[in-house]
């Protein structure tokens, strides 16, 4: 399996701008019209294939997974997962009622009773629980 990061000469966590800059520099260096080396045509094909794989986020992810399965990658794959908070029903605040039994009876009858609003600590007031998982 070919490591497209090493063909372009970039790190595995390189940004799309870094990948594009490396692609342009290598295409200028190895283009058959400029370079009369015997491997110039093969090198430009490898560079263009590497760039086409690494420029698309979906194909880059599948390439990273294949590299990791082959044992050629040191990069851990992390995914952000966002789920709605069930503690506060996605509002970010929870209602805290008093423990008084007369207030509980009023609540049971449907009367309005005083409460305090506090920030939900499960979602940090956003209404969504953010997790990072490694795959």
CA 44/CA 31 separation, integer angstroms: 6
Partners of 133 in beta bridges: 79
Interacting residues of 11 by C-beta distance below 8 A, sequence separation 6+: 5, 18
**Domain chopping of the chain, boundaries:** 4-74, 81-134
CA distance linking residue 87 with residue 94, whole number of Å? 8
Q: Which residue has the tokens 């490898």?
A: 46
Helical segments of the chain, H only:
4-8, 16-30, 40-55, 57-70, 101-108
Q: Which CATH architecture has domain 4-74?
A: Orthogonal Bundle (1.10)
CA distance 82 to 91: 15
pLDDT, mean of each 10-residue run, the chain (135 residues): 91 91 93 88 94 93 87 70 76 78 80 80 74 63
Q: Specify the pLDDT at position 55.
A: 94
Q: CA-to-CA distance for 69 and 103, rounded, in angstroms?
A: 60
Question: From the CB of residue 31, how many other CB atoms can be counted at a distance below 10 Å?
Answer: 14
pTM over 0.75: no
Maximum Cα–Cα distance across the chain: 92
- What does residue 123 show for φ and ψ, rounded to 5 degrees? -110, 0
Q: What gap in Å lies between CA 32 and CA 40, rounded to an integer?
A: 5
Supply the pLDDT for residue 98. 74
Q: Is domain 81-134 classified as CATH 2.40.37.20?
A: no
Give the per-residue pLDDT at 42: 93
């Amino acid at each position: 399996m070919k490591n497209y990061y090493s063909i372009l000469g970039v790190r595995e966590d390189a940004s799309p701008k870094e990948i594009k800059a490396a692609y342009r520099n290598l295409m200028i260096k190895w283009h058959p019209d400029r370079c009369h080396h015997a491997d110039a045509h093969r090198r430009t094909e490898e560079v263009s294939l590497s760039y086409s794989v690494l420029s698309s986020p979906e194909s880059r992810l599948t390439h990273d997974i294949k590299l990791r399965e082959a044992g050629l990658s040191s990069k851990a794959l992390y995914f952000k997962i966002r789920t709605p908070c069930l503690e506060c029903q996605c509002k970010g605040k929870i209602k805290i009622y008093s423990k008084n039994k007369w207030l509980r009876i009023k609540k049971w009858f449907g009367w309005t009773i005083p409460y305090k609003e506090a920030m939900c600590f499960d979602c940090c007031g956003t209404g969504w629980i953010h997790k990072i998982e490694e795959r």
